[in-house]
Structure 1
Amino acid sequence: MKAPTVLTIILNYRTPDLTLKSAGAALRAMDGMPGEVLIVDNDSGDGSFARISAEAEARGWTAQGRLRVVDAGRNGGFGAGMNFGIRTGLSGGEAADFYYLLNSDAWPEPDAIRHLRDFLVTHPGAGLAGSFVEGEDGVPHRAAFRFPSIAGEFEMAARTGPVSRLLKSAIVAIPVPETETRVDWAAGASLMLRAEMLEQIGLFDETFFLYFEETDLCLRAARAGWDTYFLPQSKVIHLGSASTGMKDWPRTPSYWFESRRHYFAKNHGRPYAAAATLARVAGQAIWQMRRAVSGKPQADPDRFLRDLIFHDMRAGRQRPMRIPPFPVPHTVAKDKK
């Protein structure tokens, strides 16, 4: 029986050094496995494409036929860039059996990709599998989650022990599982997708520019009968927010609010989305009262609550979904020279 193929996709946006480090780690982890590594430049516009292409050629990666560098031609966000890579497929023109999505600031351990692939091979009901993620300091990152909900929004904003204990079953970020565990959704920093699942539910919804896209994909998969798993034996080092700058946001960008609202409105309806925002506002009010009493530091970017309400009020009608089908008429992307 022919071994299943894996296409590892790394999306670059103005992080060429990190992307090259990620690609090197991915190639080592892919050693002996049928498949390829594909670097997709998301229209960085800073010379990233030329630099990565030249460096990959100089290191002999492209000559071995194990790695290609392609230009998406536009920056449509994370989901659109990954969709471009999935549609590009393997260099022979065929689709892969599995697609491994890897952040440009993440580096898989030597057996990380193999663990994900082997698990999906032996668990035909699993559509997605995510990795254990930790920082360079060895501190584990939260990478396994429950789906967002009204109760979860309230708990997240309140940041108060009694509220969290009361709503513990709604807390979005769950403690890091120590064994293979079925979860609602897993972080897209290191996530493997089954092609058969994508054939059924389609690719990422490109309405999301950034954030909530993998949450939405896992929810669509779950509704179609596919499970998502977290595998602690698949280990990845992740810097976190290197290309988005989330850790240093002085103010939350518009696309985060738009993605959040689209997720709730699309999957649960506009009244539910409005209720989720009201729950967030109510939880935030509790947190602000705690801050006033205890002198706790600010925990959100500037004007977060004001921006949240503003974006919800001006949202208007629900945006149309943009979910490309899989498979699609295949056109192998041309490597720019």
Structure 2
Amino acid sequence: MSEPTVLAIVLNYRTPELTIKATAAALREMQGINGEIIVVDNGSEDDSCALISAAIDRNGWGVDGRVSLAPSGRNGGFGAGNNFGIRQGLSNGKIPDFYYILNSDAWPERGAIRALLKVMQDDKRAGIVGSFIRGADGPPHQTAFRFPSIAGEFEGAVRTGVVSRLLKDSIVPMPIPSELTRVDWVAGASALLRRRMLEEIGLFDETFFLYFEETDLCRRAAQAGWHTLYAPASEVVHVGSVSTGMRTWARTPQYWFDSRRHYFVKNHGRAYAVGATVARIAGAALWRVRVALSSRALGDPPHFLRDLTIHALRGVFRRDVSKSAATLPQLTTKDVNNV
């Protein structure tokens, strides 16, 4: 069997300095691995391309196509940007065996990419493998999850110990595994994807602009019999939400609500999506009663419950646009190796 090939994709949106740092870290960890790195600029419309291109030239990263820059020409979101990178393939025109997706604000530690690759080689049904991710100041980030459900929406909103104990198997964020573990889905900040899986299930659903796209991909993978795993041996430092501005949201953006609704309608149907939203609204209302009677912090962006309710009511009169597997972006097969 020939040595597997890996195409690493670093997605940039107006974070050129972080992207250069992420690319340098990925390049270090790609040493000894047969593959390349492609930096996708996701329609930044700033000086990102000039700065990244200058860094590639200055550091000699472009020798033999080891690192390249590919402007997508538009900001279609996380899934669309990564799909663009996936479709570029290797510089020799071949399709790699694996794709490593890395956020611009994430930096793989020593052996991180190789640890993911080992999992893929050991488990031929592994389709997606995610890393253990920690903040720059040390604390681990939550990156292993169960699929969202009506029960999970209520538990996550009501934030009450007795409810969490009763619905423990529906809590979306899982306890962080200390060993290689099969999970429902992993965060896309650092993950390895098998090309054969993508050929079967399609690429990221580009209806999702941001959020829920990796949840949907992992769900389609599971339905097709592929495993999603969490590999704590692969450690990655992640600043978190720099390009999205999530940490400083003054209000939850429309695209978050759109992505959430699309996920539920697409995967469970319109009635289930309504049920999930009602459960979340009910849980959030009960939580606000507790907050009013105590000194607890609300913990939600301003106007979250009102915005969720208004979005849900508007959705009643909106036509659903849910992509089937047949209409999802596909990976063109050429020069395929069975890995």
Same fold per superposition (TM over 0.5): yes
Question: Which AA in structure 2 matches 1:24?
Answer: A
Paired position in structure 1 for 2:331: 326
- CA-to-partner distance for each residue in 1:43-89, whole Å, 9 max, x for gaps? 10011011101111111101242100110011100000000000001
Cα shift at 1:328: 6.2
Give CA-to-partner distance per residue, 1:76-115, whole Å, 9 cap, x none: 0000000000000101111110000000000001210001
**CA–CA distance in 2 between the matches of 1:298 and 1:167?**
22
Partner of 1:290: 290
Question: Which residue of the partner structure matches residue 205 of structure 1?
Answer: 205
How far does residue 312 in structure 1 lie from its aligned partner after superposition?
Answer: 1.7
The one-letter code of the counterpart of 1:23 is: T
Post-superposition shift, 1:319? 1.1
Partner of 1:31: 31
Aligned to 1:335: none
Please tell me the root mean square deviation across aligned C-alpha atoms, in Å: 1.2
Amino acid at match of 2:307: D
CA contact (8 A) 1:87 1:328 kept: no
Residue 327 (structure 1) shift: 1.8
Aligned twin of 1:253: 253
Q: Does 1:65 align with 2:65?
A: yes
Secondary structure of 1:92's aligned partner: coil
Aligned partners of 1:251 and 1:304 also within 8 Å: yes
Alpha carbons 2:125, 2:227 under 8 Å: kept: yes
Give the match for residue 81 of structure 1. 81
Q: Single out whichever of 202-211 and 291-300 deviates more from structure 2.
A: 291-300
Q: What SS class does the counterpart of residue 101 from structure 2 fall into?
A: strand
* Structure 1 residue 155 displacement after superposition: 0.4
- Matched position secondary structure for 1:7: strand
Match of 1:333 in 2: none
Runs of 4+ displaced beyond 6 Å? none
Is there any run of 5+ residues in structure 2 with no aligned partner, and where? Answer: none
> What SS is found at the alignment partner of 1:294?
coil
Equivalent residue letter for 2:59: R
Per the alignment, residue 186 of structure 1 pairs with: 186
Number of paired residues? 330
User: CA shift at 1:183, angstroms?
Assistant: 0.1
Instruction: Give the TM-score of the pair, scaled to structure 1.
Output: 0.96
CA contact (8 A) 1:112 1:235 kept: yes
Paired residues of 1:204 and 1:323 also in contact (CA < 8 A)? yes
**Cα shift at 1:326:** 1.5
Cα-to-partner distance string for 1:227-248 (whole Å, 9 max, x where unaligned): 1000000000000001001111
Q: Distance in 2 between matches of 1:104 and 1:240?
A: 9
CA contact (8 A) 2:95 2:334 kept: no
Structure 2 SS opposite 1:307: helix
Counterpart amino acid of residue 162 in structure 2: P
Amino acid at match of 1:318: D
2:267 corresponds in structure 1 to 267
**Equivalence map 1:2-17=2 (5 Å):** 2-17=2-17
| Secondary structure of the corresponding residue to residue 314 of structure 1 | helix
Q: What is the CA–CA distance in structure 1 between the aligned matches of 2:56 and 2:215, rounded to whole Å?
A: 32
Instruction: Judge which range, 142-151 or 49-58, deviates more.
Output: 49-58
User: What SS does the corresponding residue of 1:133 show, helix, strand or coil?
Assistant: strand
Partner amino acid for 1:18? L
